[in-house]
Amino acid sequence: MNEILRKKLKLLPDEPGCYLYKDELGDIIYVGKAKNLKNRIKSYFTGTHNKKTQLLVSNIYDLEYIIVNSEKEALLLENNLIKKYKPHYNIRLKDDKTYPYLMITKEEHPRIILTRKYKKNSANIYFGPYVDIKSATQLKKIIDKIYPLRKCNPIEKRACTYYQIGECIGPCAKKVTNEEYKNQIKNIKNFLNGNTKNILNKLDAKLKSYVENLEFENAATIYEYIQAIKISVENQNISMTSNIDRDYIGYYYDENYICIQIFLSRMGNIIERKVEYYNLYSDYTEVLYSYIIQYYALNIAPKEVFIEGLDVELLTELIGVKFINPKKGYNKKIIDTLKNNAKYYLDNNIKIEEEKEKQQILMLNNLAKQLGVTTISNIDAFDNSNIMGQDAVSVKVNFLNGKKNTYGYRKFKVKYTEGINDIETMKEVLFRTYKDKDTKTNLIIVDGGKNHVTAAIDIVHNMLELNIKIIGLAKNSNHITEYIVTDDYEIITLDKHSEQYLFLKKIQDEVHRFAITYHRSLKTKNMFSSPLDNIKGIGAKRKKILLENFSSIEELKKSSQEKLKKLGIPKDVILEIKNKL
């Protein structure tokens, strides 16, 4: 322990707050919270600890602390600090996937759409979560057929195709009142809350109509919908005594790890179990509080959450739904089941997971040796995507100790490179990434051969003077990685069945997937953009007025100032329109 740290430990306050541990480079490696900062922080440096906590303590060279008024404030501050600094030793949700939801938008003319982005304080109405996208899509198809909302986006000037086939309520064809929307949304809510009688009657009527009119293909589709609804009602994993949406959180911990398991109960059915485990560096309750706050920041909380061993009143206040500590009965049995499952996982599966980690470290060490470096614990990989030079983008993915680290992913809109120029695009993005020289990256992977590696050397080694290993993954004519080009221009060929090759392929596939996904999202967004979006004084309302009164941008350009004035467009905005278009 250094002298500065020793002195700080003598001056710790007996107050609640958060503490931040730093390594020898000054980077924050762990954030914790405590009811009593003095007692909690000193506990790390006294007594005996497991190997993982010893490793953490051995890397602490400095500390800071922030005093707060209550444990609630400490929990909220801790979560914000973890989000901000992403410390290496703090827990991060391993399974950070978000579930699909059905969402009714809060618009003048509402739509029902599929989304994985749940916003906690949004005015939109959410239903779910659903276990998979397939079941959510099936439900949306049924709703579109029986209780349609607006489907055309933007609203068309004439009846859209969806309205003609009965899948759009029709603001494009007629005036739809607020009462009609409210009634339709009420029907949707009833259906998604498990009241299926009305919708089954409507589907039965449609089925009979299609059969009578010999429309057997449509009849078959409606029959599939009916069966899907019946199956969703009848097939229950575990039958519950109530239809209230609930989560059950159980856990078990030993000296080194904590395993957390969640049962998701929706409409009286256990629809899924989540299992995660984490290293234990401090008190197990610290891990649980951090996990719960992170989990419900990503996922919609049900009406009730059952958990033992924590302050349920504090959690109720923090998350905004009722947390309950079950003492007996059915809910207590479920928590006990989760606890037993978690114990079994730690007693059995953890050994397998530890063995996998050892093999991963061995593979990384072997690959580092082949590349002529001591470590490749922190890897950045880059890829570009564009179509004929349009909407050019680039992305970076990060792998930490051989695992995806989504906190290190980045998206770049290409700003300065024009046209199709893969090399210049890569140089621009490498410079933007590392220009501050604040990085722990020890391996950069570029998608390409000698030319790409040379370009990367120009930026990273020559211009920025960073000592980071660079390799390129060169592909053959079949677009399969054939060999590695190093920054020493050494050609390394790996066995295509080796762990090292498969690991690099995994990185290459991930960065390519990320680039394509980002490019597609921008392309889709730009399809609905308009030159009006960039004109000062044109907001959503004025844009709507102009689009409704002019069939094209060309017609708007040729229109007189008098006509635009009659539409309520101010003189200065008219001048902006004429100048920009």
Total domains present in the chain: 5
CA distance 198 to 204: 10
Instruction: Out of 125-134, 241-250, 487-496, pick the least confident.
Output: 125-134
For residue 314, the domain's CATH number is 3.30.420
Mean pLDDT over 479-501 rounds to 93
Mean pLDDT over 450-479 rounds to 93
Q: What is the DSSP letter of 408?
A: G
Q: Which is more confident, 526 or 70?
A: 70
**Residue-level pLDDT at 524:** 61
Looking at 524, 549, 571, the residue that finishes a domain is 524
Instruction: Out of 5-19, 35-49, 141-155, pick the least confident.
Output: 141-155
240 has pLDDT over 50: no
Q: What is the DSSP letter of 157?
A: S
In a domain, 470, yes or no: yes
Instruction: Out of 24-33, 47-56, 442-451, 522-531, pick the least confident.
Output: 522-531
Alpha helices by DSSP H, listed for 193-255, are: 197-212, 216-234
In terms of domains, do 511 and 533 share one? no
SS3 labels along 469-524: EEEEEEECCCCCEEEEEECCCCEECCCCCCHHHHHHHHHHHHHHHHHHHHHHHHHH
In a domain, 125, yes or no: yes
- Give the confidence band of 504 by pLDDT, cuts at 50, 70, 90: very high
| Structural domain of 307 | 246-348
Beta bridge partners of 474: 483
The residue behind tokens 């980045």 is 410
**In contact, 306 and 322? CB cutoff 8 Å:** no
**Residue-level pLDDT at 94:** 60
Looking at 163, 194, 225, the residue that finishes a domain is 194
Q: State percent of the chain over pLDDT 70.
A: 92
**In contact, 259 and 342? CB cutoff 8 Å:** yes
Q: Which of 229, 201, 211 is nearest to 141 (CA)?
A: 229
Q: State percent of the chain over pLDDT 90.
A: 36
**Residue-level pLDDT at 267:** 67
Instruction: Out of 391-400, 464-473, 484-493, 534-543, pick the least confident.
Output: 534-543
In terms of domains, do 134 and 170 share one? yes
In terms of domains, do 122 and 259 share one? no
Mean pLDDT over 228-234 rounds to 59
Mean pLDDT over 370-384 rounds to 95
For residue 440, the domain's CATH number is 3.30.420.340
Alpha helices by DSSP H, listed for 372-498, are: 422-434, 450-457
In a domain, 226, yes or no: no
In terms of domains, do 15 and 69 share one? yes
From residue 299, alpha-carbon distances to 116, 322, 363 in Å are 9, 15, 35
Cis peptide before 129 (omega within 30 of 0): yes
**Residue-level pLDDT at 456:** 96
The residue behind tokens 């109530």 is 242
In terms of domains, do 154 and 256 share one? no
In terms of domains, do 280 and 296 share one? yes
SS3 labels along 241-309: CCCCCEEEEEEEECCCEEEEEEEEEECCEEEEEEEEEEECCCCHHHHHHHHHHHHHHHCCCCCEEEECC
In terms of domains, do 518 and 535 share one? no
CA distance 10 to 42: 9
In a domain, 255, yes or no: yes
Cis peptide before 154 (omega within 30 of 0): yes
Pairing of the two strands 246-253 and 257-266: antiparallel
**Residue-level pLDDT at 387:** 56
In terms of domains, do 396 and 519 share one? yes
In a domain, 202, yes or no: no
121-135, 219-233, 300-314, 342-356: which is most confident: 300-314
In terms of domains, do 270 and 135 share one? no
| Residues near 183 by beta carbon (within 8 Å), at least 6 away in sequence | none
For residue 46, the domain's CATH number is 3.40.1440.10
Phi–psi pair at 463, nearest 5 degrees: -80, -50
**Residue-level pLDDT at 216:** 84
Residue pLDDT, tens place only, 164-206: 888 888 888 888 888 888 888 888 888 877 777 888 888 888 8
Angle at 118 between CA 391 and CA 512, to 5 degrees: 35
237 has pLDDT over 70: no
**Residue-level pLDDT at 568:** 87
In a domain, 91, yes or no: no
In a domain, 222, yes or no: no
573 has pLDDT over 90: no
Q: Which of 363, 352, 361 is nearest to 277 (CA)?
A: 352
565 has pLDDT over 50: yes
526 has pLDDT over 60: no
For residue 538, the domain's CATH number is 1.10.150
Looking at 330, 348, 366, the residue that finishes a domain is 348
CA distance 56 to 20: 12
In a domain, 227, yes or no: no
131 has pLDDT over 70: no
In terms of domains, do 410 and 323 share one? no
In terms of domains, do 64 and 130 share one? no
From residue 410, alpha-carbon distances to 63, 279, 383, 396, 515 in Å are 29, 27, 11, 5, 10
| Mean pLDDT over the full length of the chain | 85
389 has pLDDT over 60: no
**Residue-level pLDDT at 551:** 62
In terms of domains, do 10 and 72 share one? yes
Q: Which is more confident, 507 or 523?
A: 507
**Residue-level pLDDT at 564:** 87
pTM of the model: 0.59
